[in-house]
Amino acid sequence: GAVVSQHPSWVICKSGTSVKIECRSLDFQATTMFWYRQFPKQSLMLMATSNEGSKATYEQGVEKDKFLINHASLTLSTLTVTSAHPEDSSFYICSARAPRIQAGYEQYFGPGTRLTVT
């Protein structure tokens, strides 16, 4: 149980185009999903918190107009990188908060999406 998928697993796009990444909770409903960014050999940096049916909460320094987040249902959140540039190349990981499956507020992570902007 508590499986989170991401699609695509990797994507290469040209500078100036937009890319959409999907995050799905496969066997549970997630009222809250999180989007992280990870640079090589670095830790995960939280970009935004996504609550179903409401606007995402962005961390300081994250451009909300560049990284559009939509949490349209209890099992799907999307991150759209608009007008991507090479500096947006990174590993994007989502997680979904499971409703006390074991204890506390556990986050289950997707496998990540490698974005390369050329």
Partner 1 sequence: GEDVEQSLFLSVREGDSSVINCTYTDSSSTYLYWYKQEPGAGLQLLTYIFSNMDMKQDQRLTVLLNKKDKHLSLRIADTQTGDSAIYFCAESYGGSQGNLIFGKGTKLSVKP
Residues of this chain that bind partner 1 (CB under 8 A) = 4, 6, 32, 34, 42-44, 46, 49, 93, 95, 97, 102-112, 114
CB 80 within 8 A of CB 68: yes
Q: How many CB atoms lie within 10 A of CB 9?
A: 12
Shortest distance, CB of residue 81 to partner 1, whole angstroms? 18
Q: How far apart are CA 108 and CA 50, in angstroms?
A: 14
Residue 49 in 3-state DSSP?
strand
- CB of 11 or CB of 82, closer to partner 1: 11
Shortest distance, CB of residue 83 to partner 1, whole angstroms? 26
Q: What contacts 20, CB < 8 A, 6 or more positions away?
A: 78, 79, 80, 81
Shortest distance, CB of residue 86 to partner 1, whole angstroms? 20
Shortest distance, CB of residue 74 to partner 1, whole angstroms? 16
- CB of 17 or CB of 64, closer to partner 1: 64
